[in-house]
Structure 1
Amino acid sequence: MSQVAEIAVDVQNAVKRYGDFTALKSISLGVYHNEFFTLLGPSGCGKTTLLRMIAGFEDVTEGAIFLFGTEIDALPPNKRPVNTVFQNYALFPHMTVLENASFGLEMLGKSRAEAKARAGEMLELVQLSQFASRKPAQLSGGQQQRVALARALAPSPKVLLLDEPLSALDLKLRKAMQIELKHIQRETGITFIFVTHDQEEALTMSDRIAVMSAGELQQLGAPREIYEHPQNRFVADFIGETNLIEVTISEVADGRAKCRIGGGHVIECDAPGQASGSACLSVRPERMVLSAGNASGIAVPARVVENIFVGTDIATWLKVDGGPEISVRISNSARSTIFEPGANVFVNFEAGAARLLMD
C-alpha cells in the first residue's frame, strides 16, 4: 500500500444515538483504497453500528461519512457502491449457487446471460465453480460463506463490508477462510472493511485495525504496532495475552522510567511524558525469559506455581517475590528449559518488552 494511498472511506466525527443511548461517540477514521481494514472490539462496542452506517442501514446522527471524497449520508443503501456480507450469509434456499451469485447483478439491470457469466467468474475466484448447480442446503458452512462472498463481489463494489462472516465456522475452517479472504482481497483490489471480536483473526488478516470499546476508538494502527505498542490498558488486555502489572514509578529521566514491582524489584522501561505515581506495565508472556540465576543483575526473583501445556508453548505461571502472579510463555521444544512447580527462578525482561501504561 502506497504511503500516499487514496482514502476510500472517510468517517468524520460520526455519532450514533438511539434515544438517550449513544452507541458511537464521535468516531473519526480513514480507510485506504485496496486496504484490508478491521473494526475490532467486544460485543456492544459499536463496530457493527459503524459498519451499518457505512452501508446505509443506519443513519448518522452527527458527523459525516465520505466514499472516495463524496458524502454518502443521504444515499440509500442500494445507491451506494458498497456491498455487505452478513454473518448468516442470507442465501436464497430455493436458488442454485449460480443463481444466488448472479441475483444482485440481475437486480441491477444486467441481462441474465451477462449476470451469469460474471457470477461464474466470481465462483471460480472463490473455488466453487463445480458446485454452481447445487442448492445452499447441499453445501458446508464454509462453502455457503464463499457463495455469499461471490454474490457480494459480482457487482464489483468499491468497498466490501463483512460483518463477522466467519463466526459460525469451526476453528479449522475459520483459519483456512481467513487466509482465503485475504487472498481474495488482494486478488480483487477491493477495499475490505471487516468486523470481528476475534483478536487473532484481526491480527492475521488486517493491514490496519481500529480497536473499539464502548462506542469509542481506542487505537488505530497496523497489527504489529497495536500488539507491541498498545496505547492504553484496554488495548493491551484485549489484544492477545499480556501481563498487567501494577507498579510505582520511582524515577523518570531521559525518557526512561524506573518502576517498582511488589517488594521493591525495579524494572526500567520507556516512559511517556506524563509518567508519575502509580501506573501499569504491560508485558507479553513471550517477551520474558526464565533462568536459574540472575546473571544480568536486574532479573526479578519468582517462584514457579504451575505449568500448563498449550501445544506449541508451555504457559508457566509464576509468583513474583512480594508481587503479583505473572505468566511466561516458553517454546515447547527440546531446547527449552522447563522449571517445575516450586522452583525458584529469575524473570528476565527482553529489551523493550515492558510497556508503561498510564490509564
Structure 2
Amino acid sequence: MAEDQGDIAVDIDHVTKRYGDFTALADVSLAIRSNEFFTLLGPSGCGKTTLLRCIAGFEDITLGAIRLYGDNIVDLPPNKRPVNTVFQQYALFPHMDVTRNVMFGLLRLGQSEAAARKRAGEVLDLVQLTQFADRLPAQLSGGQQQRVALARALAPNPKVLLLDEPLSALDLKLRQAVRLELQQIQQETGITFIFVTHDQEEALTMSDRIAVISDGRLQQIGTARDIYEEPDNKFVADFIGETNLIDVTVAGIDNGQATCTLPGGNHFTCPAAQGAHSGRGHLSVRPERVSLSDPAQGLLTGTVSRLIYLGTDMHVDITLTDGEVVTARVQNSAGTRIPAMGETIGLNFEAGAARLLID
C-alpha cells in the first residue's frame, strides 16, 4: 500500500550526486516519516554524510529532488531550509556561556533578547543542562558540550534535525548514555531526526528505521529487526552484526523458499531474499542461531578449531570438511556443554534462522 504523503517529512527522490567522474550517491530514493528517528548507516565513505549535507543544502545534487513535507527544497539555500544540523565537531563559541551559545541562532533569526533567553532556558531544561547555563564550553565535559550543540539546534524548533555522527568523539560508556538521551529527546519533541553513523549498535538501538548504504547505493531500508533478521544481501548481512555466510548450491526457488544443498550433501529449505536465484548461493545464519549437536544429527559436521571466551558467551569456530568456518555463539550458563578443541561436532540452525541471500 502506498504511504500517505502527509506522513512523509523528507522525500529523497532518485537523488544522484557526482563530483566530476566520481558518483557519491547513485539514484537514491527513500521516504522518511514525520516524527521518525531515521538512521543512515554505512561504512566510512559510503555516501551517508553526503546525503545528509544534500538535505541540509550544503551540497547541491546532480539529479533528482529532495522534498520537505511535499515542497521541493533543492533550490533553497541552507539558511532558508527548516532543518538544523548537529555536526561531529560541536563548533560552540568558546567565549560565550552555554545560554548565549543556545541563544545565538535565535537572535540571528530576529527573536528578541527576552524571547531567545526564554527559549534557551526551555531547551537547556530538555537536555538537562539548566545548572550549567552560565558555564563556558571549556568548563564542560564532551557529553555536556554535545548536549549544548543539540540544544542550540533544537531551539528554533526545526521541522527536521540532522545529526552527523554527533557521538563519535565520546567514549564508549558516554556514547551509550547519550544514545538513550537522544532517543528520549526525539520522542519528547516529536521532531524528525535523521542520524548518520557507521556504528551498527547505535543504529540498532536508537532507530525507528534504518537505511543501509554502501558505495553510494541504498542497500536496504527497514526496522532494526528487519535489517538484522532478514537482510537482503551479503553486504547487509555481513555489515550488521556477525553472520555466517555458507556456500550452498540452490536447486530452485518456489514461493520465496529455496531448496539448497549444504556442504557435506544435506538438503535444506529456507526463505530466500528477493532476487535470489538457482545456482551458487550464500546462506546467512547468525552465530547465536547455530546450535551444536551430535555429529550424526547435524545438518553440517565439522571440527572445533577455535574457542573464544567472551564472558557471557563462548564463540565456537567449527571448520567444515570443505574448509569453510562456521561460528556458533554458546551461552556460558550452567548445564551448557562447551565442546573441546579438535572435537567433531554437528551443527543445526534454529527454525527460520537461515536465509538465502543475493550478492
For residues 308 and 127 of structure 2, what CA distance do their matches in structure 1 show? 39
Residue matched to 1:310: 310
Question: CA offsets, 1:113-159, max 9 Å, x none?
Answer: 11111111111111111111111111111110000000000110000
For the Cα contact (< 8 Å) 2:295–2:347, is it kept in 1?
A: no
For the Cα contact (< 8 Å) 1:288–1:350, is it kept in 2?
A: yes
Residue matched to 1:283: 285
For residues 53 and 83 of structure 1, what CA distance do their matches in structure 2 show? 13
- Cα distance change, pair 335–79 in 1 and its aligned pair in 2 (3 A): farther
For residues 40 and 254 of structure 2, what CA distance do their matches in structure 1 show? 37
For residues 120 and 134 of structure 1, what CA distance do their matches in structure 2 show? 14
Question: CA offsets, 1:294-327, max 9 Å, x none?
Answer: 4xx4532222111112232111111123341111
SS of 1:146's equivalent?
helix
For the Cα contact (< 8 Å) 1:82–1:159, is it kept in 2?
A: yes
* Cα displacement (A) at 1:259: 2.0
User: What one-letter code is carried by the residue in structure 1 that aligns with 2:248?
Assistant: V
For the Cα contact (< 8 Å) 2:41–2:203, is it kept in 1?
A: yes
Residue matched to 2:325: 325
For residues 77 and 273 of structure 1, what CA distance do their matches in structure 2 show? 39
- Cα distance change, pair 308–15 in 1 and its aligned pair in 2 (3 A): same
* Cα displacement (A) at 1:235: 0.7
* Cα displacement (A) at 1:60: 1.4
For residues 88 and 46 of structure 2, what CA distance do their matches in structure 1 show? 17
For residues 275 and 215 of structure 2, what CA distance do their matches in structure 1 show? 27
Are residues 1:29 and 2:5 paired? no
* Unmatched tracts of structure 1, length 5 or more: none
Residue matched to 1:115: 116
Residue matched to 1:9: 10
Residue matched to 1:193: 194
For residues 122 and 337 of structure 1, what CA distance do their matches in structure 2 show? 53
SS of 1:50's equivalent?
helix
SS of 1:145's equivalent?
helix
- Cα distance change, pair 273–150 in 1 and its aligned pair in 2 (3 A): closer
Q: What's the % identity of the aligned pairs?
A: 63
For residues 178 and 343 of structure 2, what CA distance do their matches in structure 1 show? 43
For residues 354 and 324 of structure 1, what CA distance do their matches in structure 2 show? 16
* Unmatched tracts of structure 2, length 5 or more: none
Taking only aligned residues, the RMSD between alpha carbons, in angstroms, comes to 1.7
For residues 183 and 230 of structure 2, what CA distance do their matches in structure 1 show? 24
* Cα displacement (A) at 1:264: 2.1
Residue matched to 1:149: 150
For the Cα contact (< 8 Å) 1:248–1:261, is it kept in 2?
A: yes
User: After TM superposition, which residue ranges in structure 1, 4 or more long, deviate above 3 angstroms?
Assistant: 2-5, 250-256, 271-274
Q: How many residues align?
A: 356
TM-score where L is the length of structure 1: 0.95
For residues 177 and 99 of structure 1, what CA distance do their matches in structure 2 show? 23
User: What one-letter code is carried by the residue in structure 2 that aligns with 1:280?
Assistant: H
User: What one-letter code is carried by the residue in structure 1 that aligns with 2:192?
Assistant: T
- Cα distance change, pair 3–355 in 1 and its aligned pair in 2 (3 A): farther
For residues 253 and 113 of structure 1, what CA distance do their matches in structure 2 show? 68
Are residues 1:260 and 2:261 paired? yes
Residue matched to 1:340: 340
TM-score where L is the length of structure 2: 0.95
For the Cα contact (< 8 Å) 1:262–1:323, is it kept in 2?
A: no
Question: CA offsets, 1:251-301, max 9 Å, x none?
Answer: 55564333223332333212357521100011100111112354xx45322
Residue matched to 2:227: 226
Residue matched to 2:40: 39
